[in-house]
Amino acid sequence: MGTRRTPLPGVGTQFDFTTEAGRHISVVVHHDGRRFLGFYKSDDPDACVVEVPLSSEEATALAHLIDPAPIDAVRTDGIDLVTEHIQIGVRSPYIGSLLGETRARSRTGASVVAVLRRTGAHPSPAPDFRLALGDTLVAVGTREGVDALAELISEG
């Protein structure tokens, strides 16, 4: 199952994925926290059959039903911080690069607080941590910063 992330300027970010059963599901995350869940026809991946709007609270409740321990957004002093998983896919220009070579924090304002790999978790990775295909970066920052980091990691 691969996830495709598409920035929607002025709106938010769209995440599309296909289940093992071949079903296309889309989640649109708006800048204001609202979500739209879309389910598509199996024989026509562009034909949305059902669209379900969710408030930020409803999306969190649904996430807790699906995964009892998801990573939640953190609110600190009126500043919204989000935590998100960003996978290093086959198109990433940073496969085999050192984390420091991405200059992720200085370019996006978001921080990589851990790297998840099949062999285990690597908390607080140093700049000399070498990234690999399939790694999942755990990023923390503003919505805009984390979205910029995801774009940087996937496109360079």
Residue with the larger pLDDT of the pair 104 and 13: 104
Judge if pTM exceeds 0.85. no
Closest CA to 123 of 148, 147, 140, 102: 140
Split into its structural domains, the chain has a count of: 2
Domain housing 44: 3-66
For residues 115 and 99, state if they share a domain.
Answer: yes
For residues 86 and 133, state if they share a domain.
Answer: yes
For residues 50 and 80, state if they share a domain.
Answer: no
Distant-in-sequence, close-in-space partners of 106: CB < 8 Å, separation ≥ 6: none
Is residue 98 over pLDDT 80?
yes
Q: How far apart are CA 117 and CA 88, in angstroms?
A: 10
Which CATH number is 134's domain given? 3.30.70.1450
For residues 60 and 82, state if they share a domain.
Answer: no
For residues 90 and 23, state if they share a domain.
Answer: no
For residues 86 and 150, state if they share a domain.
Answer: yes
> Which of the listed residues 39, 66, 93 is the one where a domain comes to its end?
66
Residue with the larger pLDDT of the pair 76 and 148: 148
> Which of the listed residues 16, 41, 66 is the one where a domain comes to its end?
66
For residues 31 and 81, state if they share a domain.
Answer: no
Is residue 73 over pLDDT 60?
no
> Which of the listed residues 30, 50, 66 is the one where a domain comes to its end?
66
**Which percentage of the chain shows pLDDT scores above 70?**
89
Q: Phi/psi zone of residue 10: left (φ > 0), alpha (ψ -120 to 50 degrees), beta?
A: left
Q: Phi/psi zone of residue 124: left (φ > 0), alpha (ψ -120 to 50 degrees), beta?
A: left
Q: Are 37 and 30 in contact (CB under 8 A)?
A: no
